[in-house]
Structure 1
Amino acid sequence: MRRNALGRSGVPVTAVGFGAAAIGNLFSPVTDEAAAQAVDAAWDAGIRYFDTAPHYGLGLSERRIGAALRDRPREQYTVSTKVGRLLVPSGDGGATGDDLANGFAVPATHHRVWDFSADGVRRSIEDSLERLGLDRIDVAFLHDPDGHAEEAFGQGYPALEKLRSEGVVDAIGAGMNQTGMLARFLRDTDVDVVLMAGRYTLLEQEGLAEVLPEAAARGKSVVVGGVFNSGLLIDPHPDARYDYAPAPGPVLARARRIQTVTGRHGVPLRAAAQRFPAAHPAVSSVLLGLRSPAEVRDAEAMHKHPLPAALWDDLRAEGLLDAGVPVPAGEA
């Protein structure tokens, strides 16, 4: 699978990355065996970029990624994790419930504490290194600093920059579900990469206004997550979700219109949605949330599925894609 460097850092990522929230028991349990098999299948498919975070399953995702990669050659894979949420033990009595209120089917052995301070960032990295079983982090992102801008820019980012200079992390950035603050990180800091979730998809291209042009102009990279808009671009049924909530009627209708066009060309909606973001030159990797070998094999098949040029022409003709939006190379 094609590899790209993140900005000027030299850190390589594969065109498709393994989003490891799912094996942190996102919404429903995944066994240790199934999680390991999913990572094995991803490796067999050529995926060498794995993205995780303390938030995902209260550290379960990091532990599972670390265990699954432990016997792999370290120079052959890239791991990104995140800072901004410290995991604090919930009490002497252990778990008193589950973490489903935060989206993860795990015991509530810990609770999350927002912390973008310099000390918090360093502690978070130290904890992640222990859970992952690594001696360095390839990529560290400030995770969802939406309501913590002052601390994130004033303390969290400089702390990551210092860790990068010390060689504890190789590349740094920020990951969010919005575009305004990501554009600010690209303009006002020396991040290598930003992770933009849900804002550059076949359904909507908000990221094309600022984030992607800023990254391209400054020689920085964008990793795109949330390419299916919470599953809407996999199966736009009446109960489908968009941005983690029930899909509004007009959004659902637009997704169905896109599906009708892709269907006319014999292309599964999820294939077009998975491949679309990578056409922009600033995009280095597209993250897919994967929880089983079957999902990995499907993602691999969609990555290889032919996308005829006429598909994009029809989407434009029906007002579902603007004329200036890039489409997969060689198929325009």
Structure 2
Amino acid sequence: MPLGRSRAWTTRLAFGAAAIGNLFTAVSDEDAAEAVGAAWEAGIRSFDTAPHYGLGLSERRLGAALRGRPRGQFTVSTKVGRLLEPVPAASAGDPAGEFAVPATHRRLWDFSADGVRRSLDASLERLGLDHVDVVHLHDPDEHENDALRHAYPALERLRAEGVVKAIGIGMNQSAMPARFVRDTDVDVVLLAGRYTLLDQSALSDLLPEAARRGVPVVAAGVFNSGLLAAPGPGATYDYAAAPPGLLARALRLQETCERHGVPLRAAAARFPLGHPAVAGVLIGLRNAREVADAVDQSHRPVPGALWQDLLAEGLLPAGTPLPDGN
């Protein structure tokens, strides 16, 4: 699907490469390569990464796995806003935040024009590419003015030069992306966790604005970091222990889905596509088994009666756009 007026596009199911950057647990080089290969065989052609993911490991693994494949047949998105600075004499056992990699670098917030170009140059080197299709401003929550005044204009120049095809913003909130949709010429929004079966907050700002202006949204975090994939003891919501109220709601969602013979994760992956502004869903994948499951769930029929029951039971707000039953 085209991303707005840009030359970039996305497949309906896109590959989130944070996991192959060792998000939370280590992934072998072999599993990472097999995950990308399985995605390719399944028809997935859109891949999302970032310097933040495993201190560049995700970009290196993704670039290696895509090497030799026809460049015009896939799209890659990466992100700017964090520079990676080497740490002298780093200990191999040091943690690197939520990524299970040695802390060989530290992340420095930088939304300056120079920082954007330096970040992108480094990403292209790690990926082994001469251009990327989409560059997202990555989590500028505390850097809104710098992102608007410096980083975004720098990306506009890079887009004009053909170094990038499309400009996006990737965040875990919907209010700031809505402002970028109103006040800039961004091509796409990567929205994590704010339009899911548990959280429809983007309906109040971003999604109607994006629909009016023809800016597509790619929905990420559709399982809210795990709760909508497997609700139960120990499940996480936004990367923390799920509050009891949300866990109870997720279990109710699961019960309704099961009455219709649909796994909760299939409904969770399908739900965002009911909104006309949503162009695709991005799911984080770490091995070939997870790829196979994601593809299977994305193709699984979800009857319209399921969505109607979720409305009737108050599990979705009235007026929520619903996917077609299929």
Which range, TM-score by smaller chain? over 0.9
Q: Does 1:252 align with 2:230?
A: no
User: 1:98 maps to what in 2?
Assistant: 94
User: 1:195 maps to what in 2?
Assistant: 190
Q: Does 1:130 align with 2:125?
A: yes
Query: Hey, what's the Cα distance between the residues in 1 that align with 2:80 and 2:304?
Result: 41
Over 3 Å off, 4+ runs = 94-97
1:321 aligned residue (296, 313, 316):
316
User: 1:206 maps to what in 2?
Assistant: 201
Q: Does 1:293 align with 2:288?
A: yes
TM-score normalised by structure 2 residue count: 0.98
- Contact kept? 1:118, 1:156, Cα under 8 Å: yes
SS at match of 1:285: strand
SS at match of 1:106: coil
How far off its partner does 1:163 sit? Answer: 0.6
Letter paired with 1:144: D
SS at match of 2:226: coil
User: 2:57 maps to what in 1?
Assistant: 60
Structure 1 residues 224-264: Cα deviation after superposition (integer angstroms, max 9, x where no partner): 11000010001111211111111111111111110110011
Query: Hey, what's the Cα distance between the residues in 2 that align with 1:98 and 1:54?
Result: 18
Structure 1 residues 79-102: Cα deviation after superposition (integer angstroms, max 9, x where no partner): 0000000000001x24453334x1
User: 1:180 maps to what in 2?
Assistant: 175
How far off its partner does 1:152 sit? Answer: 0.7
Letter paired with 2:94: D
Query: Hey, what's the Cα distance between the residues in 1 that align with 2:3 and 2:42?
Result: 21
Query: Hey, what's the Cα distance between the residues in 2 that align with 1:108 and 1:214?
Result: 40
C-alpha spacing 1:96/1:37, structure 2 compared with 1 (3 Å) = closer
1:242-281 map, 5 Å: 242-281=237-276
How far off its partner does 1:325 sit? Answer: 1.2
Query: Hey, what's the Cα distance between the residues in 1 that align with 2:237 and 2:137?
Result: 24
- Contact kept? 2:305, 2:325, Cα under 8 Å: no
Query: Hey, what's the Cα distance between the residues in 2 that align with 1:215 and 1:99?
Result: 38
User: 1:150 maps to what in 2?
Assistant: 145
How far off its partner does 1:206 sit? Answer: 0.6
Query: Hey, what's the Cα distance between the residues in 1 that align with 2:71 and 2:2?
Result: 17
Runs (5+) with no aligned partner, structure 2: none
Structure 1 residues 111-130: Cα deviation after superposition (integer angstroms, max 9, x where no partner): 10000000000000000000
- Contact kept? 1:98, 1:105, Cα under 8 Å: no
2:160 aligned residue (151, 165, 169):
165
Query: Hey, what's the Cα distance between the residues in 2 that align with 1:309 and 1:330?
Result: 4
Calculate the aligned-residue CA RMSD, in Å. Answer: 1.0
SS at match of 1:328: coil
Letter paired with 2:72: E
Query: Hey, what's the Cα distance between the residues in 2 that align with 1:304 and 1:194?
Result: 24
2:233 aligned residue (229, 238, 262):
238
User: 1:72 maps to what in 2?
Assistant: 69
Runs (5+) with no aligned partner, structure 1: none
Letter paired with 2:299: K
Structure 1 residues 195-243: Cα deviation after superposition (integer angstroms, max 9, x where no partner): 1100000112111111111111111111111000010001111211111
Query: Hey, what's the Cα distance between the residues in 2 that align with 1:313 and 1:149?
Result: 39
TM-score normalised by structure 1 residue count: 0.96
Letter paired with 1:26: L
Query: Hey, what's the Cα distance between the residues in 2 that align with 1:204 and 1:324?
Result: 14
Query: Hey, what's the Cα distance between the residues in 2 that align with 1:330 and 1:255?
Result: 21
How far off its partner does 1:137 sit? Answer: 1.1
SS at match of 1:237: coil
